[in-house]
């Protein structure tokens, strides 16, 4: 089957070399990569099959009968007698329902065959190998310490050496993504062209090559088209074609693109274009595949190229080192770290070093900003005033319960920082060092700090200062504890609330702009010039 590439700037359409098993489309954000791949897919009709882990895991709503998608297959399956229910709210849920439906139907057929064998009307029946069997086997090759169990028509998961069994809701986004890819790919038509949007999404760099090598091996009849700006993923696909999209000409309806020489690697020109030669770099905490930071900040700080580094210390050090070498790459860098329990002096110091620090304690608190809660509520057709009042009441109740524990944690942090500053001084001899430390215990005054913090926190409660509480309250269970997801009309899980925010921010709408303004303002930035 001949696959034509979209028109170039001259209007010419070239065929994709038939020997190419996969094509990786790269380019900077906004270059037109997604539009390029959609154009290709539309030209292939029923032979195109589309995969997106982000949409599968987070996008909610009624499934649409779109050709070449899992949702389209699910809708058709519901039109025939089956064991499918109407409770699946995401594409990921609908996929697992399809796999279990096929499993149950195969077992029923096998049982009927066994009955005929017993009656002497046919030869011995062979137990079927189902799609679910293959998915589980391949998924466990990627996650060998995980177990998959079938129980009562649903899937349960466990880890080696642990008795706890849990549903798919508790899987990490990376585990869900791999399960989705293996399962969905089995439903692709014979000899399909599989279009994968952001194949690196949710996958740790160490898993990307193994996962996609296994997926391609599972469907040798298919060809794959990947769309990405992630160079770590690109490095795993260099045995096949690499296509660089520089831009899109709206007037001429053509793309400026180049097929790069096979095995040539990424040139400096391409590298700089993709990481954003005109965009500063934003280093953030968290894991690139799993953390809320990695999902949220690229959609908020759209003028930055965002890079996850893991720890706070790495963000601070990398920002400093990157800016020290500006003469080499001509790029500015910034960092983002959680406020945690830092005092105003620490925050001011970090900001002077190009580190953004929010006016809330941590990333989860950003999602609990009043304007964010109100926007999500209104987006889902709920009364935003009523929702926020309930959320505020819950947060204040949680903070009241945790007040002394939070004051103690802040006291420990301030004591530790003061001790570090005192010990880090320069001294010529041990006598001078001893003298310097002699009055340390009295200077620390942990009880005085603790009691002062208790008074400050009590004042925040008395004044019903919601923003002030978010600034000092480190509590990972804030989202589920506040019941914000269910109040906003979602399924009650933390993931659904986060997913709704991500889904809103991916569009350019009044709701997305409202959330973006609230978050940028939280960092002390001008919301109109973010």
pLDDT tens by residue, 295-325: 888 898 888 878 877 788 888 877 776 666 5
Percent of the chain whose pLDDT exceeds 90: 34
Least confident span in 298-312, 327-341, 453-467:
327-341
Q: Specify the higher pLDDT residue, 302 or 48.
A: 48
> Does the pLDDT value for residue 144 go beyond 70?
yes
Residue bearing the bigger pLDDT, 143 or 87: 143
Burial of 86 from C-beta contacts in 10 A (0-12 / 13-18 / 19+): exposed
Task: Give tens-digit pLDDT for 149-205.
Answer: 877 677 888 888 777 888 888 888 889 999 999 999 999 999 999 999 989 888 888
Lowest mean pLDDT among 301-315, 418-432, 444-458, 516-530: 418-432
Strands 193-197 and 281-285: unpaired
Instruction: Report residue 62 CA to chain centroid gap.
Output: 22
- The single-letter DSSP state of residue 169 is G
Residue 255: phi and psi, rounded to 5, are: -110, 145
Find the mean pLDDT for residues 25-44.
87
**Greater model confidence, 421 or 71:** 71
Max mean pLDDT range (50-59, 231-240, 390-399)? 390-399
Collapsing DSSP states into helix, strand and coil, what is residue 383?
coil
Q: What is the mean pLDDT of the chain?
A: 83
pLDDT at 40: 93
What pLDDT shows up at residue 417? 80
Whole-angstrom Cα distance, residue 99 to residue 103?
6
CATH architecture type of domain 22-272: 3-Layer(aba) Sandwich (3.40)
Tell me which range, 312-321, 439-448, 506-515, is most confidently predicted by mean pLDDT. 506-515
Q: 303, 295, 238: which is closest to 504 by C-alpha?
A: 295
pLDDT > 70? residue 529: no
**Residue closest to 18 by CA, chosen among 237, 241, 234:** 241
Residue 369, classed as helix, strand or coil, is coil
Sign of CA pseudo-dihedral 56, 62, 63, 65: negative
The residues with which 244 forms a beta bridge, in sequence order, are 26, 258
CA–CA dist 453, 341 (Å, integer): 12
- Between CA 324 and CA 326 the distance in angstroms is 6
Contact 438, 412 (CB under 8 A): no
CA distance 239 to 230: 17
pLDDT at 356 (0 to 100): 87
Contacts of 132 (CB under 8 A, 6+ apart): 99, 100, 102, 103, 150, 183
Instruction: Using the predicted structure, report yes or no on whether residue 29 has a pLDDT greater than 80.
Output: no
- Residue from 184, 183, 182, 187 nearest 207 by CA: 182
The domain spans of the chain are 22-272, 279-357, 360-423+441-530
**pLDDT over 80 (residue 69):** yes
**Which range, of 205-214, 366-375, 461-470, averages the lowest pLDDT?**
205-214
- 150 φ, ψ to 5°? -100, 125
User: What integer is the mean pLDDT of 398-421?
Assistant: 89
What is d(CA 354, CA 349) in angstroms, rounded to the nearest whole number? 9
* Cβ neighbours of 298 (radius 10 Å): 18
- Beta-bridged to residue 148, according to DSSP, are 157
Give the per-residue SS3 of 228-278. ECCHHHHHCCCCCEEEEEEEEECCCCEEEEEEECCCCCCCHHHHHHHHCCC
Q: What is the pLDDT of residues 267-293, one digit of tens each?
A: 555 555 555 545 677 888 877 666 888
pLDDT at 66 over 60: yes
Contacts by 386-391, CB closer than 8 A, 24 or more apart: 387/484, 387/487, 387/488, 390/483, 390/487, 391/482, 391/483, 391/484, 391/487
For residue 41, the model assigns a pLDDT of 92
| Pair type for strands 254-260 and 241-249 | antiparallel
- Residue range 240-268, pLDDT digits in tens: 888 888 888 888 789 999 887 665 555 55
Closest CA to 141 of 233, 90, 217: 217
- Residue 80: pLDDT over 80: no
Greater pLDDT, 440 or 53: 53
């Amino acid at each position: 089957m001949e696959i034509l590439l979209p028109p170039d700037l001259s209007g010419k359409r070239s065929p994709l070399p038939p020997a190419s098993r996969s094509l990786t489309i790269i380019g900077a954000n906004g270059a037109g990569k997604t539009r390029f791949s959609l154009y290709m897919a539309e030209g292939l009709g029923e032979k195109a099959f589309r995969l997106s882990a982000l949409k599968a895991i987070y996008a909610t709503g009624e499934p649409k009968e779109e050709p070449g998608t899992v949702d389209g297959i699910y809708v058709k399956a519901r039109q025939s007698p089956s064991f499918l229910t109407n409770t699946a709210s995401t594409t990921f849920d609908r996929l697992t329902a399809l796999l279990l439906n096929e499993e149950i139907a195969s077992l029923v057929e096998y049982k009927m065959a066994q009955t005929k064998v017993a009656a002497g009307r046919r030869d011995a029946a062979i137990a079927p190998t189902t799609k679910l069997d293959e998915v589980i086997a391949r998924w466990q090759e990627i996650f060998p310490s995980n177990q998959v169990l079938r129980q009562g028509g649903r899937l349960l998961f466990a880890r080696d050496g642990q008795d706890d069994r849990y549903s798919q809701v508790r899987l990490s986004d990376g585990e869900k993504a791999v399960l989705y890819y293996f399962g969905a790919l089995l439903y692709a038509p014979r000899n399909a062209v599989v279009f994968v949007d952001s194949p690196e999404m949710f996958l740790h760099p160490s898993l990307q090559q193994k996962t996609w090598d296994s997926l391609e091996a599972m469907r040798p009849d298919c060809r794959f088209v990947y769309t990405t700006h992630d160079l770590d993923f690109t490095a795993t696909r260099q045995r096949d074609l690499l296509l660089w999209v520089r831009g899109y000409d709206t007037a001429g309806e053509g793309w400026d693109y180049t097929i790069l020489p096979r095995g040539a690697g990424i040139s400096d020109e391409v590298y700089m274009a993709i990481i954003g030669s005109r965009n500063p770099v934003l280093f953030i905490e968290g894991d690139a595949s799993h953390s809320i930071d990695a999902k949220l900040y690229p959609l908020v700080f759209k003028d930055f190229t965002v890079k996850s580094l893991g720890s706070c210390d790495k963000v601070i050090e990398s920002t400093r080192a990157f800016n020290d070498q500006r003469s080499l790459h001509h790029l500015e860098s910034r960092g983002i770290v959680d406020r945690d329990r830092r005092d105003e002096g620490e925050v001011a110091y970090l900001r002077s070093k190009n580190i953004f620090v929010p006016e809330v304690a941590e990333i989860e608190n950003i999602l609990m900003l009043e304007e964010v809660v109100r926007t999500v509520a209104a987006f889902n057709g709920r009364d935003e005033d009523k929702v926020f009042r309930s959320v505020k009441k819950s947060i204040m109740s949680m903070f009241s319960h945790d007040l002394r524990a939070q004051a103690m944690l802040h006291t420990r942090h301030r004591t530790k920082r003061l001790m570090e500053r005192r010990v880090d001084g320069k001294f010529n001899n041990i006598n001078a060092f001893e003298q310097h430390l002699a009055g340390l215990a009295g200077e620390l005054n942990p009880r005085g700090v603790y009691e002062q913090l208790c008074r400050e926190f009590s004042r925040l409660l008395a004044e019903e200062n919601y923003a002030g509480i978010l600034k000092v309250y480190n509590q990972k269970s804030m989202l589920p504890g506040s019941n914000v997801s269910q109040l906003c009309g979602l399924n009650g899980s933390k993931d659904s609330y986060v997913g709704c925010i991500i889904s809103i921010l991916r569009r350019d709408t009044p709701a997305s702009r409202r959330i973006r303004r609230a978050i940028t303002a939280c960092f002390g930035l001008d919301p109109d010039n973010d």
